[in-house]
Structure 1
Amino acid sequence: MPSRANCSPLPRASRSRSDVALPRLLVLGTGGTIAGTARSRTGKAYAAGEVALEAMLGEVGALGLEAELVPRPVARIGSQDIGWREWDALHAEIARAEDDPEIAGVIVTHGTDTAEETAFLLDLTLPAGKPVVLVGAMRPSDAVGSDGMRNFANAVRVASDPDSAGRGVLVVMADTVFAAADVRKAATANVDAFRGFPRGPLARVTPSSLDWFAPAHRVGSPARYAWPEALPRVAILTAGACMDEKPVEALLGIGCAGIVLAGMGQGNAPRVVIEALAKAAANGVPVVRSARVDEGMVDRNVEVDDDAHGFVAARALGPAKARILLMVLIANGIRDAARIQAAFDGR
């Protein structure tokens, strides 16, 4: 991580004619497509994270944004490679910003592939204080139709808005604001790639307004979880037809501390897989049933007898975020199925 000496504020993106102090926003850069460069003008092939944060923000001045931006690079990677080092650095920077009276909010530039996981992890472990906004892009910065600067401008508006405070971590994409607990990437390449399930988006951003129409939902609210020293190994097991118990045994063999089932339908799997997972649960390895289906709830004791098998139902959380929550719970010493279920129920 760069030293703080290299993180002085950029010139203000715009200056108030009435000399009213502009909100000061910390911008944490991790790379991603928003900082990517295209191999062709269409952006079909590109490399993520090639544009330095300061260079990217240097283009922001022409947008006329009413904010003072303080850049602080964390990484320059595609978000598929994000890991504990980057998460730990982001959490530390945001926690410091929360205590800094000069900082009004935080923006994190991030790749879209794992934005929902990073947002949810931070939301579970940070207080609902100052605005924290993750933003990315579906097109690299120099491709035709690049959406990065528009998304970033919207993120500045959201992070500067006093009504954004207290809502937990937010994700801004395609003129839409999502809560960390609900946001999902639903398309591989469309600019309008994100959805909010099950409660939908929180707000819309237009050229003239930011319209909130829903409160943020925070899983586990009002309880927050302590930031761990490390995260345990938790695997996602995707169920399919003609599948046996061997993948479960392999995961246990490498020491997985928990397993999330990305099941068929409402979190189901072949009988032999369910039996192997039940054995794992009986031996102290938490098992959470989620679904490989894009939408829908996974409820307890429908076709799978969760009470008998010692399983947890993921409810509205898809496999990726179910894994994040389970890792945080285990890291905080919560391994009992009833307590884990309460967390997934939002209690």
Structure 2
Amino acid sequence: MTAKRLLVLATGGTIAGRAGSATRRDYRPGQIGIEEFLANADYLELDVEFDGQQLAAIGSENMSPAIWREIHAAILAGFADDDVDAIVLTHGTDTAEETAILLDLTLPNTKPVVIVGAMRPADAVGSDGLRNFANAVRVAADDDAAGRGVLVVMSDRVLAARDVRKSRTSGTDAFAGFPRDAIAHVTPSSLEWFGPPWRGEEQARFAFPDEFPQVPVLYAYAGMPADTVTQCLAAHAQGIVLAGFGEGNMPDDVRATLAEAAKGGTPVVRSTRVDMGLVDRDPDDDRNHFIAARALGPAKARILLQLLLASGITDPAQIQAAFDRR
């Protein structure tokens, strides 16, 4: 049987980071280039062939629409290459969930795309990078990985793009999923899916935007003034995501100002600053023209709203339908 060929796209991150010491807390991400990284992975004796491409060498706090565009184009090129069976994207953990949902919504669901990172740099004691990479390769090369959209592999777990979120600041078990947790358990020697593929060969739900609309995220806090909203509008915000209290709540004067903005044509999405939980539609949402983020946290809600606005969709009911879709 011919070994599968995987395209590995590298963007830097902790998985390619070095500290210069096994015990130092500080380190520099993106120090290991793709050629060295794949050479380091040789000892894993993975039954696949690799093509590597370096797209960036950054910490993912510096991820940008320009780099997203490069990633998207490189994956489409991999899809068009008959010799490539799947794509693995190495990525920093801070914004992995945003990249994951952006790609999930703007790529056709054909070949598997797996994002992988690490919480400890390559030269740290207990580094998790190569194990996570070995797991990602096992997932990407598996026939049943297709039809599940973009996946994220961390700490022996496989998470779907819409569910995944970074839930801890440190430690190797830093990622969780909501409303679904892991959809599979993986080790370098085994893979167990918890259900069949649910997506099939869908086309991309959205075109990759020429420009990303300006959509700020407002973080709710006690004593939050309403002029926080007016400042965003004065800065030409095209939509607003509120990271609200609890189930997307906010102070009354903030609610009134956001409702005025929404009625004036600026879409407003109610999300939550709480790590996990649904934000369902409130009885007043129709009157206020608000959109409920449902299971999406603020960062992902922002990405989806940007794609909708870039597609010319501004009607609250149509936007709500997109947030309701899984």
Fold shared by both chains (TM-score > 0.5): yes
- Counterparts of 2:242 and 2:128, CA distance in 1: 34
* Aligned counterpart, 1:96: 77
Are 1:43 and 1:144, in contact at CA under 8 Å, matched by a contact in 2?
no
Are 1:179 and 1:216, in contact at CA under 8 Å, matched by a contact in 2?
no
* Aligned counterpart, 1:329: 308
* Aligned counterpart, 1:159: 140
- Counterparts of 2:301 and 2:66, CA distance in 1: 21
Find 1:292's aligned residue among 264, 268, 273: 273
Q: For residues 284-329 of structure 1, what are the alpha-carbon distances to aligned partners after superposition, in whole Å with 9 as ceiling and x for unaligned?
A: 1100000001111001115xx1011000000000001000100111
* Aligned counterpart, 1:170: 151
Change over 3 Å in CA distance of 1:91–1:207 after alignment to 2 = closer
Q: Do structure 1's residue 338 and structure 2's residue 317 form an aligned pair?
A: yes
Note the C-alpha offset of 1:222. Answer: 7.4
Q: Do structure 1's residue 242 and structure 2's residue 223 form an aligned pair?
A: yes
Note the C-alpha offset of 1:207. Answer: 4.2
Q: For residues 129-176 of structure 1, what are the alpha-carbon distances to aligned partners after superposition, in whole Å with 9 as ceiling and x for unaligned?
A: 101000000000111110000000111111100100111100000010
* Aligned counterpart, 1:276: 257
Are 1:138 and 1:148, in contact at CA under 8 Å, matched by a contact in 2?
yes
Question: Which letter maps to 2:117?
Answer: G
* Aligned counterpart, 2:28: 47
Note the C-alpha offset of 1:41. Answer: 1.9
Note the C-alpha offset of 1:215. Answer: 4.6
**Equivalences for residues 170-249 of structure 1 within 5 A:** 170-215=151-196, 224-249=205-230
Aligned pair count reads 324
Give the TM-score taking structure 2 as reference length. 0.97
- Counterparts of 1:339 and 1:49, CA distance in 2: 40
Are 2:90 and 2:115, in contact at CA under 8 Å, matched by a contact in 1?
yes
The gaps in structure 1 that reach 5 residues or longer are 1-19
* Aligned counterpart, 1:21: 2
Q: Give percent identity, aligned residues only.
A: 57
Note the C-alpha offset of 1:206. Answer: 2.8
- Counterparts of 1:297 and 1:222, CA distance in 2: 27
* Aligned counterpart, 2:58: 77
Change over 3 Å in CA distance of 1:161–1:334 after alignment to 2 = same
Are 1:290 and 1:319, in contact at CA under 8 Å, matched by a contact in 2?
yes
* Aligned counterpart, 1:310: 289
Are 1:25 and 1:70, in contact at CA under 8 Å, matched by a contact in 2?
yes
- Counterparts of 1:309 and 1:146, CA distance in 2: 49
Change over 3 Å in CA distance of 1:291–1:171 after alignment to 2 = same
Q: Which runs of at least 4 in structure 1 moved beyond 6 Å after TM superposition?
A: none
Q: Do structure 1's residue 319 and structure 2's residue 319 form an aligned pair?
A: no
Are 1:203 and 1:210, in contact at CA under 8 Å, matched by a contact in 2?
yes
* Aligned counterpart, 2:96: 115
Question: Which letter maps to 1:325?
Answer: L
Give the TM-score taking structure 1 as reference length. 0.91
Are 2:146 and 2:197, in contact at CA under 8 Å, matched by a contact in 1?
no
- Counterparts of 2:261 and 2:237, CA distance in 1: 10
Are 2:17 and 2:28, in contact at CA under 8 Å, matched by a contact in 1?
yes
- Counterparts of 2:2 and 2:203, CA distance in 1: 33
Note the C-alpha offset of 1:208. Answer: 3.1
- Counterparts of 2:21 and 2:230, CA distance in 1: 45
Question: Which letter maps to 1:40?
Answer: S
The gaps in structure 2 that reach 5 residues or longer are none
